């Protein structure tokens, strides 16, 4: 059976106020390169030219940085209303022949192509509508928690919306998904901003799929370091340290 055509959407529109800088978050450097370069490199290793980068803050600077790596499509998110809104902006720019869409975050530079390939292969093999990459971490503070019901993924609850019991859950959302394009086209218009942050969360497609009895699943990542999100100068230092170790191991 022919493998469905895959595309990747990279969410890279944010400023990142906690970075204490007026530079777009994804342009902060790790080992001398803007972090978006690492994410685009992973995306292209998986999907070739079928990569859409969602830009917003300092859009032209991000575009010009990405263009140095190779051909990529761009979607503009003029106002940032959350990850779900970013995906709505991206959908019209995904090439028509793409049947499966992987979602990556521009501020998660350590994710490896092999991890995304494993996620995508598992997603396709089980003929799921959506598959989430999750990982268990010692301290889940700040991350969306994975809610299971009778062995099925039923929802992702963001930190701000989680109750006391949900905050104890250590399996977290990495923000990385594989999904059928056809499912996204039906689920994204249903997203709403009725939450503590008043944002349109992409995570809510999981609850939508669960309610519709869709085939929704989880793949557990092996290395929590891969999904370090860079939200602060401290996170940037941690990502730099991990990247230096990775480069040293290769040499």
Among 18, 112, 118, 170, the active-site one is: 18
Run of H or E residues at 147: strand 145-149
C-beta of residue 103 within 8 angstroms of C-beta of residue 176: yes
Token pair, residue 21, equals 């800088």
Contact residues for 203 (Cβ-Cβ < 8 A; gap 6+) = 83, 84, 144, 156, 158, 173
Kindly tell me the number of DSSP H helices and DSSP E strands found in the chain. Answer: 7, 11
| 158/142 Cα distance (integer angstroms) | 8
Q: DSSP state, 3?
A: P
Token pair, residue 42, equals 């992973």
- Annotation marks residue 246 as catalytic: no
Q: Which residues are catalytic?
A: 18
């Amino acid at each position: 059976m022919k493998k469905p055509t895959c595309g990747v959407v990279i969410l890279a529109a944010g400023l990142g106020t906690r970075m204490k800088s007026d530079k777009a978050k994804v342009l902060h450097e790790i080992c001398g390169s803007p972090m978006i370069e690492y994410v685009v490199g992973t995306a292209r290793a998986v999907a070739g030219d079928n990569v859409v980068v969602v830009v917003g803050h300092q859009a032209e600077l991000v575009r010009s940085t990405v263009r140095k790596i190779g051909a990529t499509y761009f979607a503009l998110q003029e106002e940032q209303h959350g990850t779900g809104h970013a995906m709505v902006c991206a959908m019209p720019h995904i090439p028509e022949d793409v049947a499966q869409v992987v979602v990556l975050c521009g501020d998660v530079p350590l994710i490896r192509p092999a991890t995304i390939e494993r996620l995508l292969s598992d997603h396709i093999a089980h003929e799921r509508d959506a598959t989430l990459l999750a990982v268990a971490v010692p301290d889940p503070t700040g991350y969306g928690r994975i809610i299971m019901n009778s062995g099925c993924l039923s929802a992702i609850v963001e930190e701000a919306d989680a109750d006391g019991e949900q905050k104890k859950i250590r399996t977290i959302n990495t923000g990385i998904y594989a999904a059928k394009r056809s499912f996204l086209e039906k689920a994204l218009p249903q997203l709403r901003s009725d939450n503590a942050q008043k944002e349109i969360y992409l995570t809510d497609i999981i609850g939508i799929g669960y309610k519709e009895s869709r085939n929704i699943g989880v793949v557990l990542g092996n290395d929590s370091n891969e999904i370090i999100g860079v939200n602060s100068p401290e996170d940037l230092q941690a990502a730099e340290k991990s990247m230096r170790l990775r480069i040293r191991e290769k040499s």
